[in-house]
Amino acid sequence: MAVTHVESTAEHAPAARTGSPAPGRRGRSLPVRLLPYLLVAPTVLGTAYLLVYPLIRNLIISFQKFGIAQLIRGGADFVGLDNYRQILSDDMFWSVVLRTFVFTAINVSLIMVLATLIAVLIGALGKKMRLAVMGGLVVAWAIPVIAATTVFQWLFQSQLGVVNWVLVALGFEQFDGYAWFANGTSTFAIIVVLIVWQSVPFAALTLYAAMTTVPKELHESAQIDGAGGVKTFRLITFPILRPMFGLILCLEIIWVFKCFVQIWAISQGGPGNATLTLPVYAYQVAQSLNRYDLGAAISMVTVVILGVALLAYFRQMFKEEGEL
């Protein structure tokens, strides 16, 4: 549905630009007409081999019996829907799906709320403070995922970690030597903090950039009419920037849902299964159980769920861009 919407808006858009190498368009020679196809050919070939083919391969594996033997020797048999039947009838799978949704919902709501508040805050600051906050956000944004993950392990280290020290100093004696990564809930919480900490800068800076495009006169007239900060945001800023909010929301949902590295590097889904989300589950089943077929089936389910989020994203994007 989203796609048809796209085509129709896209029809008239390129017209402005196409006049370029105009003279004698009809009489252009064959090589000239082929030129654009030659230019995009490497991209199409690359995508076919490195994206479409792996996806198809994944789909095929998900219909096969594909364990360590088939991985080494080849020659996998087709088993129809057996793998899907097996994962869908497993309670474990459904608890992972549920956890993935909860994980995504918690992360994304925190990210959106904090990012919005920080974006508004940046807008209200003086020049120096604004630069300081934006600089700080950029630093948090720039640190590579693996480096950040390592740092968080150090911050929350049980004996020497600074977080425990601060908590004890604040009077929470129970955190003396508290082992964060031994407990499922606290490991989950740390991963959430890590992901939110890493994701807020992008969302906040983008929202702030978008907010600067809202005409000042609108805010001023709203204030003259007696509207406070919250009301101005609700009645003016938010409606104007609704597409931008939607876009960032969709992106964050996609990113958090498919998030793998932070969880894998910190806990590999544990302790217990407390931090096991769909992408990690797929990887774990494939790697440690050598059930590549089940792993492939789980990742196909992930792709389908993300596809729905993707549709929403495209709708937003085309509404926003209005052209292809």
Partner 1 sequence: MRTRIGRKISLNTLALIVFAFSVFPVYWMVLTAFKPTKDIQAETPSFFPTNITFSHFGTAVNADGFWLFWRNSALVAVSAVLMALVIACLAAYAVARMKWRGRQAFILMVFIAQMTPWEALLIPMYVIARDTDMLDKLTMLTLIYFMVTLPFTIVTLRGFLNAIPVELEEAAQVDGCNQFQAFRRIVFPLLAPGLLSTSLFGFITAWNEFAFANLLIIKNQDQRTLPVWLSSFSNTFGTDWGATMAAATLFMLPVLLIFLVLQGRVTAGVAAGAVKG
Q: Answer for the pair 119, 211: CB distance below 8 angstroms, yes or no.
A: yes
Tokens (6 digits) for 182? 């031994």
Binding flag, residue 170, partner 1 (CB under 8 A): no
| Distance in angstroms (rounded) separating the CA atoms of residues 103 and 106 | 5
Residues in the chain: 324
Report CA dihedral (317, 318, 323, 324) to the nearest 10 degrees: 80
User: Scanning the structure block, which residue is given the tokens 């769920």?
Assistant: 305
Min. distance of Cβ 113 from partner 1 in angstroms? Answer: 13
Question: Which residues in the 183-212 window bind partner 1 by CB under 8 A?
Answer: 197, 201-202, 205-206, 209-210
For 77, phi then psi, to 5°, come to -90, 150
Q: Answer for the pair 295, 219: CB distance below 8 angstroms, yes or no.
A: no
Stretch that binds partner 1, among 57-65, 93-101, 103-111, 177-185 (CB under 8 A): 57-65
Question: Which residues in the 35-54 window bind partner 1 by CB under 8 A?
Answer: 35-37, 39-40, 42-44, 46-47, 50-51, 53-54
Binding flag, residue 168, partner 1 (CB under 8 A): no
Binding flag, residue 81, partner 1 (CB under 8 A): no
Binding flag, residue 255, partner 1 (CB under 8 A): yes
- CB-side neighbour CA atoms (13 Å) of 218: 15
Peptide bond into 215 cis (omega under 30): no
Min. distance of Cβ 132 from partner 1 in angstroms? Answer: 6
Min. distance of Cβ 274 from partner 1 in angstroms? Answer: 20
Binding flag, residue 182, partner 1 (CB under 8 A): no
Q: Residues in contact with partner 1, total (CB under 8 A)?
A: 100
Site for partner 1 (CB under 8 A): which residue of 5, 55, 69, 85? Answer: 55
Site for partner 1 (CB under 8 A): which residue of 1, 12, 17, 26? Answer: 17
Site string for partner 1, 92-131 (x = CB under 8 A): --------------------------x--x--xxx--xx-
| Distance in angstroms (rounded) separating the CA atoms of residues 64 and 93 | 19
